[in-house]
Amino acid sequence: MNGISSNKPRDARYTAGTLRYTAAGLALLFFWLAWGVFVYQLMQIVIPSLLPLLLREQGATNGQIAFITTSLNVIGNLIFVPIVSFNSDRCRSRHGRRRPYIVWTTPPVVACLALIPYGPDIAHRLGAMPAIRELLALSPIVPAVLCIAAFVAGFQIFDTFVGSVYFYLIRDTVPERFIGRYLGVSRVIGGIAPLFYNALIFPLADRHMKAIFVGIALVYGVGIYLMCWRVREGEFPPPEPLPGHTTRAWGRLIGAVRLYFRDCFKHPIYWTSFFALGLQTWSGAVISFDVLFQREDLGVPLATIGFIYSIGTAVSMVAAMPCGWLVDRFGAFRVAQVTLVARGLFSLLAWLFVRDALTLGVFSAVNALPIVGASIAMQKVGVEVWPKEKYGQFGSANSAFASIVSIGMVIVGACFVNAMGNYRSHLIWLAVFSVLSSAFFLLLELQWTRRGGREHYEAP
């Protein structure tokens, strides 16, 4: 990459492992990583925005639409993310340890995404074959929906490789003192992608749905390969040997599982980080009641709600880069604590005072500030606490732990709202979980400081 210097940089902050950058090189790194965010976010928007419409046209039930659109992805994440993350940490190749997983899985991601709208056509062709027609007749699901679901499942499985590895690539390539600023940049670029899509592409969906799927799949494929070509990875020492007998496949599998759990759950500081981050994930267990509160309790029209959301998005984009600087300047723990307390306070004030569209708009605009600050800070917390060589492994453990607990939290959150008797009560839930999360980040910072802090911390 242009801007990488073979000489030791004057400022050690421009170093990431064996990678050394000039200021210009770091700017180019930001550009190409942000370009990857743009094409990835553009690709991710297609499924939630167009897939339900496509499935409804083919006669899918509400339950089938919900399962195909969301549940398949959750199942894939729980199964594949730990495997991909663990193995990418241990990968050593001349192209790095993250990029090979992105490069190898991009073609099937592109193919599956492009074929999704052709599912009904493929099902019709397959139905012309007597043996396959009899097999399809055994399924309670319409053949066209079944074929679409197969391509969606393939897409989500292979997309797991890219989605889980991309942030690990940031951890490996961006100098640690600049990660918060990069996260701010990526947040802005990530906000531009849906604006571009909603303004120029989504209105064409009724007439050109197939072209949209195929076009965005190709843009993603070319764009992500450009990023992999321009972003270089550093070198890492050989991975730690697996424990136990590893001469056979079964022994290697057992050794990998033992090493995974021994590393991720052996020390209190890791448990504290999982709970601190998980509490914010679990606060989202009631987020589906947000729009119901706004429409049914407040009586705000959907068009107005959409406008209010756009204001919050605009505020987030403006605030993202300053928040990234604050995270780098004052530390992820401090910013997380302050912003989460602010979010809890704003949620409590909203419970007390939001009564109409005007007060809802004010709350949404003000609350966007701590939300974006907390989001960027929490993304960097893992950088501060988890071992760099095994960052993917710990990230997947955190994700799996939060996802498993979330299953129960969704039920508990629904029971809480039912017991309170109104949708407004979901704001109390958000306030409580935000403050609890802030408390755990304070505890995490104390443990981190005792182990050396910013200058001397070594992951146990």
Model confidence pLDDT, tens digit, residues 169-227:
999 999 988 999 999 999 898 888 888 887 788 888 888 889 999 999 999 999 999 99
d(CA 170, CA 392): 11
d(CA 303, CA 154): 35
Model confidence pLDDT, tens digit, residues 345-358:
999 999 999 999 89
Can you give the pLDDT at residue 140?
Answer: 63
The pairing of strands 15-16 and 19-20 is antiparallel
Model confidence pLDDT, tens digit, residues 83-111:
889 989 989 888 889 999 999 999 999 99
pTM here is 0.85
Q: Which has more confidence, 231 or 142? A: 231
The yes-or-no verdict on residue 6 having pLDDT over 50 is no
DSSP alpha helix (H) spans, 265-301: 268-283, 289-292
Q: Single out the residue of 149, 145, 110 nearest to residue 124, CA to CA.
A: 145
Burial category of 22 from C-beta neighbours within 10 Å (exposed 0-12, middle 13-18, buried 19 and up): middle
Model confidence pLDDT, tens digit, residues 298-343:
888 877 887 888 888 888 889 999 999 999 999 999 999 999 999 9
The amino acid present at 249, given as its one-letter code, is A
Q: Single out the residue of 257, 235, 233, 242 nearest to residue 165, CA to CA.
A: 233
Domains of the chain: 12-239 (1.20.1250.20), 264-454 (1.20.1250.20)
What are residue 16's DSSP bridge partners? 19
Q: Which two tokens stand for residue 395?
A: 């990230």
Inter-residue contact 113 to 43 (CB < 8 Å):
yes
d(CA 169, CA 184): 16
Mean of the pLDDT values across residues 121-130? Answer: 80
Can you give the pLDDT at residue 173?
Answer: 93
- DSSP codes, 35-75: HHHHHHHHHHHHHHHHHHHHHHHTT--HHHHHIIIIIHHHH
Tokens 């505890």 label which residue?
A: 443
